[in-house]
Structure 1
Amino acid sequence: MSLKKLWTALRGAVNEGTEAVADSQSLRILDQELRDAKSELKACDENLTKIMAKRKLAENKVKALQADIDNYTTHAIAASEKGDEALAIECAERVAELESQIEVEQGLLQGFKSSETSLKSNISKAKANVRRMEQQIDQIKATESVQKAQVAVSTRHMGANSKVKTALDSMERIKAKQQQRAAELEAADELASEESGSSLDSKLKAAGIAPGGQVSGSDKLAQLLAKKSTQA
């Protein structure tokens, strides 16, 4: 390998390592941002609870003021009908005072309602975004784990295939050596037979010339008839 190719390979390895570190760091950053977002949402929920409590108090205050207005209005009318104008005027003044108070409280109540509605909407959107981010992070982590497992299995499979191929090659070499050795032993036996003369004896026996050789049926019949003639 040339120095240029070696340098390119080293640069590629460094870049891959840097990217791996950056990706890992990015996931940690996303995890931290997710925790921060959840913490902020928890604080928002607490603020929403406080606003809702104030809205309920304002509603109760408006209801109480309205009840007082209705009550003093009834008293003013009753006093006027009885001819007690002084008492009727005093009740009417009280009604006017309560109406000023209820106007202020209704303004506060409307503000609490608007804040509550807006905050609920924003919190709902933020929670949806957080859930979406959490789902994507979990999916990325799960995919990363699965792919790492697949790479490990693939690497082991390739290694296993390589080992199996090596073993098969070794087995074929052993078979070839055994066949070569068997042929060499057979050739040695043939050579030993020729040197001892046993090969010639075998040929004579096979021809029916030497004793112990194979005899044809007609020759054997002739021997039996000749033997019988001799005995007679």
Structure 2
Amino acid sequence: MLKMFLTFIRGGAAIAEERFADRNALVILDQQLRDAAATFERAKKALAVAIAQDQQESARLTAGNARIADLELRVSAALVARDDGLARDGAEAIASLEADRDAAASAQALFAAEIVRLRRHVGQAQARIAVLDRGRRLARASEAVRDIRRGRIDAGLPHEATLAEAEQTLKRLRERQVEAEAADLALDELDGAAAASITEKLAARGFGPRLRASAEDVLERLRARQVQPS
């Protein structure tokens, strides 16, 4: 029974851990990517150090070869001059320099192999980080779109307005604006009609010029046409 209970506790903890990871996946991914980038920077620094050391060993090897070549010429000249003692001293110096040269060549070979390995690892890490960064940006964009659509797909928080609610609010606002515009237009027409009615009444009473011809005006115009000479 105890074993089953412990198994249950472990299973619940595993589920809780998975749910926590799912809810905070982007935060975790961001930190993991930062850690990977820091590791990548350390690898680049290690590669730079290895390259610098390889260059130092190469310079030391070149200088050693130059000294050996110079001493060989001098020892050869001493042998020609039968100065065996000085020639032996020179030969011992050459032997010592050759030992240093061989050690430098071995070190340079090791550094060269390490540089090849580090270059490969750095290149692979850089490519993987680039892929991760693109994936992270895509995941963030997808999450942002999901948040926008959450009102239609998932249940949002009680205090959060949904996209559909915003659309309904805009629709109601436009309807009220159309109604207000129609009312303003009707009021303008009523005001214009009232003003025209007052003007007509004043003109009919003889106040100011008449707005239209009367029946008498029409008859007078027709009689005037009849009496005109043809």
**TM-score of the superposed pair, with normalisation by structure 2:** 0.57
State the partner residue of 1:65.
64
| Residues 113, 82 of structure 1: alpha-carbon distance in 2 compared, 3 angstrom cutoff | same
Q: Tell me, yes or no, if structure 1 residue 78 matches structure 2 residue 77.
A: yes
Q: Tell me, yes or no, if structure 1 residue 26 matches structure 2 residue 25.
A: yes
Query: What is the number of residues matched between the two proteins?
Result: 149
Offset at residue 157 of structure 1 (A)? 4.3
79-88 or 155-164: bigger deviation: 155-164
| Residues 150, 91 of structure 1: alpha-carbon distance in 2 compared, 3 angstrom cutoff | same
CA distance in 2, matches of 1:99, 1:46: 32
The structure 2 residue matched to 1:156, chosen from 158, 163, 174, is 163
Q: Tell me, yes or no, if structure 1 residue 96 matches structure 2 residue 95.
A: yes
CA distance in 1, matches of 2:42, 2:25: 26
| Residues 159, 104 of structure 1: alpha-carbon distance in 2 compared, 3 angstrom cutoff | closer
Offset at residue 37 of structure 1 (A)? 0.7
- Give the secondary-structure state (helix, strand or coil) at the position aligned to 1:112: helix
Amino acid corresponding to residue 50 of structure 1 in structure 2: V
CA distance in 2, matches of 1:90, 1:21: 77
Offset at residue 22 of structure 1 (A)? 4.0
State the partner residue of 1:192.
none
Percent identity, aligned pairs only, is 24
Q: Determine if contact 2:53/2:111 at 8 Å carries over to the other structure.
A: yes
The runs of 5 or more residues in structure 1 that have no matched partner are 1-17, 169-232
State the partner residue of 2:134.
135
CA deviation vs aligned residue, 1:63-85 (integer Å, no higher than 9, x gap)? 11111110111111111122222
| Residues 98, 156 of structure 1: alpha-carbon distance in 2 compared, 3 angstrom cutoff | closer
State the partner residue of 2:106.
107
CA deviation vs aligned residue, 1:177-218 (integer Å, no higher than 9, x gap)? xxxxxxxxxxxxxxxxxxxxxxxxxxxxxxxxxxxxxxxxxx
Point out the structure with max Rg over C-alpha.
1
Q: Determine if contact 2:58/2:108 at 8 Å carries over to the other structure.
A: yes
State the partner residue of 1:42.
41
Amino acid corresponding to residue 44 of structure 2 in structure 1: D
| Residues 99, 19 of structure 1: alpha-carbon distance in 2 compared, 3 angstrom cutoff | closer
Amino acid corresponding to residue 82 of structure 2 in structure 1: G
Offset at residue 89 of structure 1 (A)? 2.2
- RMSD, aligned CA: 2.9
Q: Determine if contact 2:148/2:163 at 8 Å carries over to the other structure.
A: no
Q: Determine if contact 2:60/2:104 at 8 Å carries over to the other structure.
A: yes
Q: Determine if contact 2:71/2:90 at 8 Å carries over to the other structure.
A: yes
Normalized per residue, the structure richer in helix is 1
Amino acid corresponding to residue 114 of structure 2 in structure 1: S
CA deviation vs aligned residue, 1:59-115 (integer Å, no higher than 9, x gap)? 111111111110111111111122222222221221111111110111111111111
